[in-house]
């Protein structure tokens, strides 16, 4: 927990949050992004949850599992029990870009399935 670590992590987390918001917009999803320090999380609801109950109500287990499996099969692991990411002192801009690009590919494939938006 040093100023140098935060100076590295916080801009990357902002870059990631912006990238996630861009994907949500690009794909016309009714999702949101919560950003707190070096932590970002995307949720399957239009407004970021304010309580644990709201966060739980936004869970979509099968969608979450599908996205996590897609990412894992491409060498990317995000927090397995929800869609939280954390930028660390070791995270690079390339890591953030790879996550955004891979998630974009996964969403493109998923949304191409007939009835996927239902």
CATH label of the domain that carries residue 42: 3.90.1150.10
CA–CA separation, 7 and 29 (whole Å): 31
Residue 100 falls within a domain, yes or no?
A: yes
Q: What are the pLDDT digits (tens) for 46-94? A: 999 999 899 889 889 999 999 999 999 999 999 877 899 999 999 999 9
Q: Enumerate long-range contacts of 24-31, CB under 8 Å, 24 or more apart.
A: 26/104, 27/107, 27/108, 27/111, 29/107
How confident is the model at residue 10, as a pLDDT? 98
Residue 118 confidence (pLDDT) above 60 = no
User: Using alpha carbons only, what angle is made at residue 18 by residues 15 and 22, rounded to the nearest 5 degrees?
Assistant: 135
Average pLDDT of the chain is: 93
Residue 116 falls within a domain, yes or no?
A: no
Residue 33 falls within a domain, yes or no?
A: yes
**What percentage of the chain reaches a pLDDT higher than 70?**
97
Residue 115 falls within a domain, yes or no?
A: no
How confident is the model at residue 117, as a pLDDT? 63
Domains: count for the chain: 1
Q: What are the pLDDT digits (tens) for 8-55? A: 999 999 999 999 999 999 999 999 999 999 999 999 999 999 998 998
């Amino acid at each position: 927990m040093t100023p140098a670590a935060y100076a590295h992590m916080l801009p990357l987390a902002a870059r990631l949050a912006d990238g996630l918001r861009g994907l949500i917009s690009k794909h016309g999803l009714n999702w949101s992004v919560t950003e707190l320090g070096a932590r970002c999380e995307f949720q399957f609801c239009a407004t970021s949850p304010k309580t644990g109950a709201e966060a739980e109500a936004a869970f979509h287990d099968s969608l979450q599992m599908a996205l996590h499996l897609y990412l894992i099969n491409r060498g990317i692991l995000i927090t397995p029990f929800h869609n939280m990411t954390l930028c660390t002192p070791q995270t690079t801009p390339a890591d953030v870009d790879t996550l955004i690009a891979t998630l974009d590919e996964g969403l493109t494939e998923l949304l191409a399935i007939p009835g996927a938006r239902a």
